[in-house]
Chains A and B, each alone.
Chain A
Amino acid sequence: MNILLIEINPFASTTTPISLGYIAAYLKLNGFGVKILTVGEDMSLSCAGFHELINSFKPAMVGLTAYQRTMLYVKGFARLIKSIDNNIKIIIGGPQATFMPSSAFAKLTDIDYICRSSGEVTVLSVAQAVKNRAPFSDLLGVSYKSTNGDVFDTQELEGFSDLDQYPSAYLNDVFDYSRMREAIMLTSRGCPHHCIYCYTPEAFKHRITFHSIDRVMDEIRWIRKKGVRRLWFADPNISFKPERLIELLDRILSENLELEMWMQTRADLVTKELMKKMKQAGVKTIAFGLESASEQVLTRLGKHLAIEKVVQAIKMAQQQEIEVELFTIFGLPFETFDDAVKTLEFVKKNNVKIMGNTNSQQMQIYFGTHLAGHYKDYNIRPLNTDRPAYISIGSQYETEYIKTSELHEIKNMWRAHSLDGGKRIVS
């Protein structure tokens, strides 16, 4: 049985779809034929071309990654797939799907399942059910629709706490290396913190799980052999265990792998020694989450990070000539216009180039975040109460302290200072 996995982002260049890669590797090792289709702005794909793909690959199931901004496209692809072959089962997963209200699922007529738990194990269980022609039996970690359209939510499913139990997307060759300019690494998953605007801690139940360094090194060696030397570490906090990162960097150095790396972590999880080691091993850019440079805002975000720590981390990186990126957000709870300006001033004052990921963006209220469930407690007023149930508040809100016009003004101020027109890489 064949399964097609699709990642859509028509607004950015195609990147390595690492999460789909893990699922593909897991399905492949369990006997399924898998293909990944990434639809980025640099991908050439027409309706006729997609028809051709479906007719030649003949998937029995298609998985689509859903983000807030791609929901329309997810719906469009689902409709097209069903119009080609109504028997193909469609499952959606990803950030928008995990916590999407079940009531919204009923409105997504062409979608059969929502993956709510660990992607690899959940998608495999659905694939096996579809293969066995018993599409609703023994399912865990999903929402599904019965033949008459009733929505059922099944019990949650636990993923592996030892990430090495998931087969590697790289070592199992699920990606096309000929077009890969940068490999995305995920050496750990999850985040133990409680930032109220973030989806990750909730999705991973405030836990963090790891791959062994041996496994990470096996992947890096393989990627390097395939001719790719740029690595993007998508771990939310790569230095959560500093000694683990040092071991990884030491091994990269000892094997003389000549890598160019991008990493992100919390500003209070770095030291001078660690920065020095990062530089030696080939870390070109490090990104820290600042969110707001206003003390009165930052202290109320559940981030538990002192601005002074961010200043120190920036200096440490700059001393090592590592490029710094700062993730910032405007439109945060309790943030006034002046607070938002303070953040822009902070970035400028600390000589962080306003480009790429340092381009600020308005806070997005996504399903699953603390704010999505408690926005009223923060005096956040959604602007569009008429939106479909599968779309979250996103950026359509005002707060008690900042109006839409002011949010626009802040956005324009950032854009005016941007060196690259304001396009952020990570959303």
Chain B
Amino acid sequence: MIKTAIHKIYVILGKEDKGDLEQLSRTLSGLFSYMNMTSNLYLVAGNLPESMPQVERIRKDVIKFLRENLFARLYLHFVHAIPQTTVKGIDYYFQYYYQYLKRETREFDQEGYVYQEVPRFMLLPVIVPDNRLEPALLITLLDTLKGAFMLPCLYLDRSVFFLAQDKDLLARAEKVYYGDDDSRDPAEIACNMFNGDLLDDSLAMLTSEDRFIPGPCQASLIISAQDGKVYTCMDAFRKNESLTDIYKSNSVDALMTLYYEHGRSKRDCLGCRARIPESFADLPISQGRKQRIGALLCHFGTLCHDAGNDIQAVEKYEQSLKLSSVQEAGHINFRLGLGYTNIGRFDQAVKAFNKAKLTYQSQYYFHFYKGRCYFEMGDYQAALSEFSQALHLKPQQDDLVRILIYAGSCHNSLEEYEKAVVVLEKAGKAAGHVKEIYNALGFSYFQLKNYDKSIKNLLMAVEIDPCSAVDYASLGANYREKGDFDKAIVMYEKALTLDPDMILASENLERLKKRI
């Protein structure tokens, strides 16, 4: 088994310190050997001119590694704000920073040309524009960068969300990242970029597989050049749970040993993936993307439901409904109805099922689930109406029996004992040995004063489940009504042995003993 390779490294750059830069460079150079054949390095700077020595040094290290390892590909994303707002300022940026960074990478463009493939080294500037920057100027910059074989991306925080309305601008960006506030702190930017990529990863899985169960995010490392702390993922970074400190420990091998031993094993990766889509709900993204995020939230809801966490499932379905298309609403409402049912919010479940009616009304199970909600709410007439519709839609054998048992129980609750017997006997014929049927029939026949048939059914029930206190108590009641007090006492005593807190049985037992 080959150990997982690191796919992404985020370096949050800080102010220049020669000693620290030396150590950062040594660490990264060592880490390249642990990186995937195709990998991404993100250098997140607040300010490019200040971070330029670090960017330049790291670029040199990358080039050295790639020259020595022909099978490796690396995409270097350098993230930075552009405070310039004039043509002259932008031109200055291009000439003095981008062109300069690009110069030494041309050998990889040439290599790509010779081998007829995408270059192994690519520079991808991620621009964090200022809100005073004219879109037209930004478009010119993106065009110029593309012309120089640098594929530009955009990072838009809240202060520049208006740029997301500019289709011409967006069409020129390889990718657009969003920040959900107006912070320009490199750490915050790194987190938001990571979240954007993780969301894309989850969406891609959703497209390719019907029922994917997402694993951890792509193996990553986050290095804060400010204090030397290393984190195994963005979740660990946010929670300040660092793995080590590169300014205190020199060994990359030791770092990676720690990474493989402890790094990712205890993290709630599914929870992390499931939390991220919510934060994208009110970003200026396209309707189509919002709908896909809605579908993803619905999928996470289903995973929560499968894991037995219906409270979280309901939350996800509710969020999903806000984003999803009208066509999907029926499916989500149905799942929401199931979620509400499982947490006992039956009135809300019925409302959700009603909204799913158009999509599901031809499905027997829809009426069954809805009927169950009415049953639990004590509206037995409404429940019977749903169960009857379910029965007309030819349910599967197992479900047929369940529906008939519920219908029989409804009749019992409505004191329609003869109807209950008809339905429950039908269930018995369909199912054979099912305790709930015998129990319910025992109750119906008891109410109809047919004690022998009641006893016969209850004996079957305790044969299936010898620990059923309630069925022994019901047997006691039947024998009592028949005047067979000794047997009744035995049954009540048996019921109390199994459930000493059964008040009904103890009261009856006391009364019978007094009577004898």
A: residues with CB less than 8 A from B are 8, 10-11, 39, 41, 43-50, 52-53, 68-69, 71-73, 75-77, 79-80, 384, 386-388, 391, 394-396
Distance between Cα atoms of A133 and B70 in the complex (Å): 30
Instruction: Say whether A10 contacts B73, CB under 8 Å.
Output: yes
B71 & A49 in contact (Cβ 8 Å cutoff)? no
Residue of A nearest to B113 (CB): A384
Contact B69 A387 (CB under 8 A): no
Does the CB pair A384–B114 fall under 8 Å?
yes
Besides the known contacts A45-B2, A76-B69, A76-B72, 13 further A-B residue pairs in the complex with CB atoms under 8 A apart: A10-B37, A11-B117, A11-B118, A39-B37, A43-B37, A45-B5, A46-B37, A47-B72, A49-B2, A69-B115, A72-B71, A80-B71, A386-B114
Q: In chain B, residues 55-112, which have Cβ atoms closer than 8 Å to a Cβ of chain A?
A: 69-73, 111
Q: Inside 8 A of A41's CB, which chain B residues have their CB? A: 38
Q: Would you call B115 and A45 a contact (CB within 8 A)?
A: no
B6 CB–A CB distance under 8 Å:
yes
Chain B residues near A52 (CB-CB < 8 A): 2-3
Tell me the B96-145 residues at the A interface (CB within 8 Å): 111, 113-118, 120
CA gap between A43 and B37 in the complex, in Å = 9
Contact, CB under 8 Å: A387 / B114? yes
Q: Which residues of A contact B33 (CB under 8 A)?
A: 46-48
Beyond A44-B4, A46-B33, A46-B37, whether A76 also contacts B70 by CB under 8 A is: yes
**CA A173 to CA B78, docked complex, whole Å:** 46
Residues in B whose Cβ lies below 8 Å from that of A50:
2
| CB proximity of A110 to chain B, nearest CB, Å | 10
The CA of A298 and the CA of B36, in the complex, are separated in Å by: 43
Q: Is the CB of B34 within 8 A of A388?
A: no
The interface of chain B, by Cβ under 8 A from chain A, is 2-7, 32-38, 69-73, 111, 113-118, 120, 219, 256
Distance in angstroms from A225 CB to nearest chain B CB is 22
Q: A53-B2, A71-B115 are in contact. Are A79 and B70 (CB under 8 A)?
A: yes
> Inside 8 A of A49's CB, which chain B residues have their CB?
2-5, 34
Asked if B71 contacts A76 (CB within 8 A), the reply is yes
Q: Which residues in A have their C-beta under 8 angstroms from that of B116?
A: 68-69, 391, 394-396
Q: With CB as the reference atom, state the residue of chain A lying closest to B73.
A: A10
**Can you name the residue of chain B whose Cβ is closest to the Cβ of A386?**
B114
> Of B3, B6, B70, B256, which contacts A72 at CB under 8 A?
B70
What separation, in Å, do the CA atoms of A39 and B36 have in the docked complex?
11
Contact A44 B2 (CB under 8 A): yes
The answer on a CB contact under 8 Å between A44 and B70 is no
Q: Determine how close the nearest CB of chain A comes to the CB of B207; give it in whole angstroms.
A: 11
The 5 closest A-B pairs by CB, nearest first: A76-B70, A76-B71, A46-B5, A49-B2, A47-B33
Complex Cα–Cα for A72 and B110 (A): 13
Query: Known interface pairs A48-B33, A391-B115, A391-B116. Does A75 touch B70 (Cβ–Cβ under 8 Å)?
Result: yes
Please measure, in the bound complex, the distance between the C-alpha atom of A80 and the C-alpha atom of B379, giving whole angstroms.
Answer: 74
Which single residue of chain B is at the shortest CB-CB distance from A392?
B116
| A44 / chain B contacts, CB cutoff of 8 Å | 2, 4-5, 7, 36, 219
Can you give 16 A-B contacts (C-beta < 8 A)? Answer: A10-B73, A11-B117, A43-B37, A44-B5, A44-B7, A45-B2, A46-B3, A47-B34, A48-B5, A49-B2, A49-B34, A72-B117, A73-B70, A76-B69, A388-B114, A394-B116
A384 contacts across to B, CB distance below 8 A: 113-114
Q: Which residues of chain B are near A73, meaning CB under 8 Å? A: 70-71
The interface residues of chain A lying within 8 Å CB-to-CB of B34 are 46-49
| Distance in angstroms between the alpha carbons of A353 and B115 in the assembled complex | 31
A46 & B70 in contact (Cβ 8 Å cutoff): no
Please, which residues of chain A bring their CB within 8 A of the CB of B117? 11, 69, 72
Indicate if the CB atoms of B38 and A10 lie closer than 8 Å: yes
Report the minimum CB–CB distance from B68 to chain A (whole Å): 9
B115 A46 Cβ-Cβ under 8 A = no
Chain A residues, Cβ within 8 Å of B4: 44, 49
Residues A46 and B36 in contact in the complex (CB < 8 Å), given A76-B69, A80-B69: yes
Instruction: List, in ascending order, chain B residues with CB within 8 A of A386's CB.
Output: 114
**A8, A44, A77, A79 — which one has the most chain B CB atoms within 10 A of its CB?**
A44
Instruction: Assess whether B35 is in contact with A46, with CB atoms less than 8 Å apart.
Output: yes
A394 vs B113: C-alpha distance in the bound complex, in angstroms?
11
Closest to A395 in B: B116
Q: Which residue of B lies closest to A383 (CB)?
A: B113
A287 vs B223: C-alpha distance when bound (angstroms): 48
Report B151 CB to chain A, min CB distance, Å.
15
Chain B residues near A53 (CB, 8 Å)? 2
CA distance A44 to B219 in the complex (A): 9
Of B2, B5, B33, B71, most buried by chain A (CB within 10 Å of CB) is B71
CA distance A49 to B3 in the complex (A): 6
State in angstroms the CA–CA spacing of A41 and B72 once bound together: 12
Residues of A contacting B70 in the complex (Cβ-Cβ under 8 angstroms): 72-73, 75-76, 79
A178 vs chain B, min Cβ distance (A) = 12
CA distance A116 to B346 in the complex (A): 72
Chain B min CB distance to A219 (Å):
26
- B205 CB to nearest A CB, Å: 11
Specify which of B36, B111, B120 is in contact with A45 (CB 8 Å cutoff): B36
Contacts of A43 in B (CB 8 A): 37
Closest chain B residue to A83, Cβ basis:
B68
Q: Could you say which of B35, B73, B115 has the most chain A C-beta atoms within 10 Å of its C-beta?
A: B115
The answer to whether B114 and A391 touch across the interface, beta carbons within 8 angstroms, is yes
With both beta carbons as reference points, the residue of chain A lying nearest to B38 in the complex is identified as A10
Contacts of A46 in B (CB 8 A): 3, 5-6, 33-37
* Central interface residue in B37, B72, B114, by most chain A CB within 10 Å: B37
- CA of A41 to CA of B256, assembled, Å: 23
Residues of A with C-beta under 8 A to B36: 44-46
Assess whether A77 is in contact with B114, with CB atoms less than 8 Å apart.
no
B111 and A47 within 8 A (CB): no
Give the shortest distance, in Å, between A27 (CB) and chain B (any CB).
21
